[in-house]
Each structure stands twice: as C-alpha cells, then as structure tokens.
Structure 1
C-alpha cells in the first residue's frame, strides 16, 4: 500500500478536486489509500460556528447554512462541463446523490449542536469540526467514482481508535491496527484526516498536523511502502521563501533531521507524524500537487541532509524573558522547576532557554495571550525583565555567511550555539 495525503489547499475548489483526481490517475491507483483534509478554510468556518454557539448567538445556524451553500457551490461547479471531463462522468456525478449526502451531513451538524449538553469546549470542538472532513471526502469520493476511478469511502472514526483526550487524542495502536488491516487492504480508498473516535463512539481529533498523522498511522498499520504529502510547494525548502530569498529545495532529509527542524519550528512535518514512519523506515515524500512529476523531497533513513546547507527557521512575535532571584541567590533546580510549572500552567511554548548562576533566560510564544498573568505570578517570587515582539532565528548547519545573513541590521539579544545549531534572539 501507498498512502497519499491531500490538504485543504489542494481541494479548496472544483479545480482543486479535478486536479487531485488527475494526480492520482497519473501516479496510479493500485494499492492506494488517500487521506483528505477539510476543504479550504472550512475548519476555520466551523470554529466560528462553535464560537457563535458558545455565545448563545443564534446566527450560528446561519453560518451552518452558509457552509452548506459553499460546499454545494463546489459540487455545482464540478457538475459543469470542463475540458478533459467527459459528459458521462458529469452525468454520473449529478446522479450520485452527493447533494443529499451533503444535506445529511449538515443536518447531522445542526443536530449535534442542538442536542449538545456538554460544557467541555474540547469535546464540543471535536464533535463539530469533523464535519469538514466528512464533507470533503464525500465530495471527492463521489467525483472519483463518477469519473471511473472506483473508490471506497471509509469513515476514519471506524478505523482509528483513541483515548478521551479531545483535540489532542492519543491513538490506541493495537485496536486501530486491527481495524485498519481488516478494512483497508488492497483497494483504493478515501478517508478523513485528523479524526478518530474513542471507545464510546464519540469523535476525537488528533491535534496539530492531524491529517499528516492520520496518513502515518495508516501507513504504519498497513506496512505501507511510502507516504506522500501533497502540497502547493515543490517540497521542503531550506527556509521560508516569504522571509528569505534564494531558498533551496532539500532533496533528502534524514528522519532525525526532519524532527530537529520541526522541533525548532519549521513547517516541515510534525514529529508525531515522523515517529511511526521512522519506526518501520517508511519513506515520506513531500511533493507538489501542481507538479506531480517532480521528485520533491524524501524524508527517509539517509545519513545526512542533501544538499548539506544551512537551514533557517524563524519564529516571530515571541517573548524574551530574563528571570533572576530578588536576593541575587543562585537559580537552582527548584527555581527552574517552579518557572517551568508556571510556563506550563499558562500554556507558553518555549523555543529557547539558557541559565547562568543568578539568572534564567527563556524565549517563548504567547499563543494564548496569557503573558500578563504569567508575569504577575512570576513577579511574586522573582525579578522579571520581559522584551516582547522579538524574533527567534534558528540555523541548522550554520556557517559564517549564514550567521551574517541573519544578524545583519538586527539587534541580537542572545546567541546560543551547539555543534550543529545556532539560535539567536533578535529585535528587528
């Protein structure tokens, strides 16, 4: 088996859906499983629906109707004549019952919210956002079948069993492997990324980069020959082209290197996606759905990066915090433990830390806007000096030119280096 994963950007409209079919037909349909995310910004729309619902704002029902309409518009465009799509395919698609399927899913969404009694946001979130993946996979499956590419639709909630940690569920590997092997052998199938279910049948979601993780879970359980993540970029670049000029495509990346890059904040592949693949040495390809014939990037069991060049990662809008004791005593293990407890309690994501005898410096992301509460709690016991809106640059495999490129025109607040990695906190 091979596993393909297509994200929301690849199926954001009718043109995208047609292109996904073309990619699959070009790459071959034998022994293939396809994981698909929600279309475009559907997950964001569902999050807005939850927000309105929690505010007791009845307009959430109108937002659901708007989402219904948006998906019907994509279906109606897919029904229209298009170069390369035969009329018999369009006719079969019109008769597929897809509009009834969409209506049924939207009614399920409304019913879920009208019946809800839970005050647990994470539980409600998982029961609602899953409808995005259900909609996208139904539409894509119907289009594939209408165009003569026989495809089986699978409900991921019947394949991937998890614990009860809503919004970041842990996979029950033994039960999931049994279900996946029973259901997904040697046939073209489409299923949803991001979602699973617990032992009570309630929907769960797999957290950050959940659709990529779904692909990895399926690949691991099926002993797949490869996983391919299809994106709108040619593969993994050595830097974000929106920040750096003259970026270079990385042709081969060792598993450990990819995990390192992801750890420091690169939007490569989340470590939890890589770990099951590394366990069975299943190669992961990152390729362009716009240029499927190009090689892209392979993450696999190679010795070193190819080409071996500096890789740049930048995280902006960070907070640099210097903490010291009020009486100039040492910052010891108990203090560090105390500080990390506060960081964890306030959900801060640490990107760099450094300690000396009498101070402790950290750079973190205030994702949930809790910096004021954190500072208030720390200032009860420590002297605290914050600098907000800093950037954290990480350079893997740095050299002199790479350092100069990052430092030029910036005020460097802290620099930390190891043999392979240099990190700089800068004020731009």
Structure 2
C-alpha cells in the first residue's frame, strides 16, 4: 500500500490503569474491536511499574533492594503473561526485556547518567505493548508490537526530550502507514530515540503526547485518550465529589487545563491536535458506554468558567537588585538564563527593584535539577529568594479578561485565603492564584462551590 492517509483513522492511547492487568486489557481490546477505524494503539506501562522504575532510577539502593523492586515488576508482568492463551509466544521476548532491565537497574552509574535512566524507564511501556498486542490477537484483532523508537525521533535532552516533528511525520508514513490497511500497530507511549539511536523519554505522562504526535504524523482524524475517569471534569473529582464531567472543551481550554495541572491530559498533547485539527476524545476504558469529553476547535458554548485546575509542587523565585531601575538589561539577563535551561515560567510579577516568577518543581525530575542550576546562576549577579510549598490553582474559561463580574466572583470565593501571587489578563482563558499547599484543596472546593454548584 502507498503511504497515503487512511480515511477516518483513529489513534487510541490507553493509560497505566487501563493496561494494569489482563482483565483491564480485555476491556481495552473490546474498545478497539468495536471501532474498526482504530489502527494505532499507544500504551503506557502497567499501573505501578513506572513508579517502581523511577525508584530504581533515582534512589540509592543496595543490590538486594534493587532486586526486590525488579521482583515486584516481574510479579505484575507474570500475572498478565499467565492469563494469555499462548504465553509461550510472548515469554522469550519478555525474558529479553527483563534481562535488559536487570542489567540497567544494576548498572553502577544509574544514579548519575540521564541516558541510562531513560533506557531503564522505557521498559515499562515496552513490556505492556508486548502483552497488549498478544491480547488483541487473542480477540481476533490482527495486531503487531511496533517499536516507536523507529519513528518518534527527538533531541538528546534525556528525561524531557523534544520531538522532531518533520522526522516523525516522514518515518510514520514510511514505517507505519503501509501496515495499517490490515493490522493494528501497538506501540509505546512516553518513549523516543535521539539521532544516535539512544532511547529518550518525553517526560512523565508523555504517552498522551506520543499518541497526538503519531496522530499528526499519520494524518489521523481522531485521537482517543482512554484513562480511568469519564472524560475531563470541572475539577479533579478526588478533591470534591461535586466535580462533573464536561461534554466538550475547546483546544485552547484543554491546553490551559493541561498546562495548569489537569492530570487527565499531558500539557503538550493539544499542540499536534490544534495544528492538524485532530478531534481528541477522553473517556474511561472501564466504562466506555458512559461517553466522555470531546476536545474540538470550536465548542457549541463558551462559558466564562469551564473548570478549575491545581498544579502542585510550585516554587516562587524572587530576584532582586537595587540597580534594577537603572539597568535595562537586568530582566533580559534573568530570562536569558531561564531560557538557556529550557524552563517554563508561569506567573510573573514585577516591581521597581525585583521580579518574581513561579517554576514547576516536581521531586525527582529534570525540572528540579534545572531549577537548582538556574538559581545558582542567577545568584551570581543578584539576590535570589526561593519560596517553596506552594500550589497553583487556575480557573479556566472564556473571555475572562473582558466579561464584567468574572474576576470579582472568583476573588469573593477565596477572600479567606492568602493569595501569594495572582496572574490575570495576559490570556482570556485563565486566572491563576498561587496559594499555600496546605490551603489549595480548600481553595479549589470554595471556587467550585461558587462557580459550578
């Protein structure tokens, strides 16, 4: 078959809980069987596996402790393997992956080399895709396990690799599209490879991004994100029982929600969808009959308030110099350093002699390391104050900067809480509040009561 686009092509991504065990994989197989347009499946690692791999990659442990973690991973895999109709067909490939995983886990330089960490972390997805392709074949869906590293080319920023869109598009059409006429390709989320063939990763939660990038590269019409919740909610349902699923979101709203902490979506997922106008669906693999949320270019309604998000583990950095008012190049110097470390700043406020900004600061992450390096560099020419233990709460909606009464309703709802920083007006889709992490859950609940209940 020529590498021309397939009509109505759908790419489906299944998260860790959706492929946690054989029973969960059966649910996913039924979803795929019921939609003949699904020709590419992207899977995360089985639930629990990535956390165990992160422990090995980032925590100093004895050989015995490492082997215990590997045993826990093996227990998850063996339970799936033994439930297959033909485990003997899969077991040799699984053993190869386990041997490779063990060698990496016990490597004496694991804690100090980012390339080894990425190679190690990729094994979760590589094992789950191996199993899931076998499950699909068991359900009479012709499927093959495909190594995404052949297609998903990135730079060499291990742990947070940046995709090469042009290379991905060419490789996807050459290496994947011809097979899709009669085969479902099951591949790995989160994983890529650099120009030298080294394994890279896209950062935690990157499987959604993988699915969107492949959908873009293959010219797909739709991209489905199957998880353990029924679509995108007005806020995290774990924070308040009053949260309710949203039938639709615009690309802009979804991008804001993902950026500011909605766990259902990876922040970068909307970029490929927006570029190619790919409709994105979010639903529960446990309850597909309940529908979900469609994310589209234009929604039927544009309410002032659509949702509330929370992003945890934020730091506020204030840089100060008495010379700032006379030095036009001061801000340029500060943000040049931030840009050199490829950090993203969310909120910014300035005064005559100082500028404050927030940074995402998750534990055991590339960002945390880069934050430390950035602060050390800034300290060489100005006073730097770092404040921790903050969360970022954001109200996402439409025309928030121009509709009368929108902001007053928000501020009235949070009048009893200390707001360390406020960001409003630069974007019509959000209003962000930096609050103490001990208050953030209560702030979200107060806002939800005022805006949605």
Q: TM-score, normalised by structure 1?
A: 0.83
Gap runs ≥5 in structure 1: 80-92
Contact kept? 1:324, 1:331, Cα under 8 Å: no
How far apart are the structure 2 equivalents of 1:322 and 1:219?
Answer: 41
1:325 to 321, 325, 331: 321
Change (3 A) 1:309 1:201: same
Contact kept? 1:105, 1:135, Cα under 8 Å: yes
How far apart are the structure 1 equivalents of 2:172 and 2:422?
Answer: 48
Matches for 1:278-427 after TM superposition, within 5 Å:
278-302=274-298, 308-326=304-322, 330=325, 332-340=327-335, 350-367=345-362, 368=368, 382=382, 387-397=387-397, 399=406, 400-405=408-413, 407-418=414-425, 420-427=429-436
Larger mean Cα displacement after TM superposition, 13-22 or 236-245: 236-245
Change (3 A) 1:152 1:302: same
How far apart are the structure 2 equivalents of 1:316 and 1:12?
Answer: 25
Change (3 A) 1:425 1:201: closer
Gap runs ≥5 in structure 2: 1-8, 363-367, 401-405, 440-453
2:80 to 59, 71, 74: 74
Deviations 1:355-407 (A, max 9, x none): 122332223344328988877776665555554323332223363433333x1
Kindly indicate whether residue 142 of structure 2 is the aligned counterpart of residue 150 of structure 1.
yes
Kindly indicate whether residue 172 of structure 2 is the aligned counterpart of residue 180 of structure 1.
yes
Larger mean Cα displacement after TM superposition, 42-51 or 279-288: 42-51
Aligned residues: 410
How far apart are the structure 2 equivalents of 1:415 and 1:281?
Answer: 32
Q: How far does residue 6 in structure 1 lie from its aligned partner after superposition? A: 0.2
Counterpart position of 2:54: 47
Contact kept? 1:251, 1:306, Cα under 8 Å: no
Q: How far does residue 232 in structure 1 lie from its aligned partner after superposition? A: 1.0
Higher-Rg structure is 1
Contact kept? 2:253, 2:429, Cα under 8 Å: no
Kindly indicate whether residue 258 of structure 2 is the aligned counterpart of residue 258 of structure 1.
no
Contact kept? 2:63, 2:106, Cα under 8 Å: no
Counterpart of 1:389 in 2: which secondary structure?
strand
Contact kept? 1:252, 1:306, Cα under 8 Å: no
1:11 to 6, 19, 29: 19
How far apart are the structure 2 equivalents of 1:413 and 1:254?
Answer: 30
Change (3 A) 1:371 1:207: closer
Larger mean Cα displacement after TM superposition, 364-373 or 224-233: 364-373
Matches for 1:66-145 after TM superposition, within 5 Å:
66-76=72-82, 78-79=83-84, 93-94=85-86, 96-112=88-104, 121-145=113-137
Contact kept? 2:39, 2:185, Cα under 8 Å: yes
Contact kept? 2:90, 2:131, Cα under 8 Å: yes
Deviations 1:193-240 (A, max 9, x none): 112223433222223432112111221122111000001111111222
Kindly indicate whether residue 29 of structure 2 is the aligned counterpart of residue 21 of structure 1.
yes
Q: How far does residue 341 in structure 1 lie from its aligned partner after superposition? A: 5.3
Counterpart of 1:312 in 2: which secondary structure?
strand
Change (3 A) 1:243 1:401: farther
Deviations 1:220-274 (A, max 9, x none): 1221110000011111112222334522322222222222333333335334322
How far apart are the structure 2 equivalents of 1:199 and 1:425?
Answer: 40
2:69 to 60, 63, 66: 63
How far apart are the structure 1 equivalents of 2:46 and 2:78?
Answer: 12
Contact kept? 2:57, 2:110, Cα under 8 Å: no
Change (3 A) 1:167 1:388: closer
How far apart are the structure 1 equivalents of 2:388 and 2:294?
Answer: 37
Contact kept? 1:96, 1:142, Cα under 8 Å: no
Contact kept? 1:250, 1:305, Cα under 8 Å: no
Contact kept? 1:14, 1:74, Cα under 8 Å: yes
1:243 to 225, 239, 244: 239
Q: How far does residue 2 in structure 1 lie from its aligned partner after superposition? A: 0.7
Contact kept? 2:129, 2:188, Cα under 8 Å: yes
Counterpart of 1:219 in 2: which secondary structure?
helix
Q: TM-score, normalised by structure 2?
A: 0.79
Larger mean Cα displacement after TM superposition, 278-287 or 166-175: 166-175
Counterpart of 1:265 in 2: which secondary structure?
coil
How far apart are the structure 1 equivalents of 2:418 and 2:289?
Answer: 44
Contact kept? 1:252, 1:307, Cα under 8 Å: no
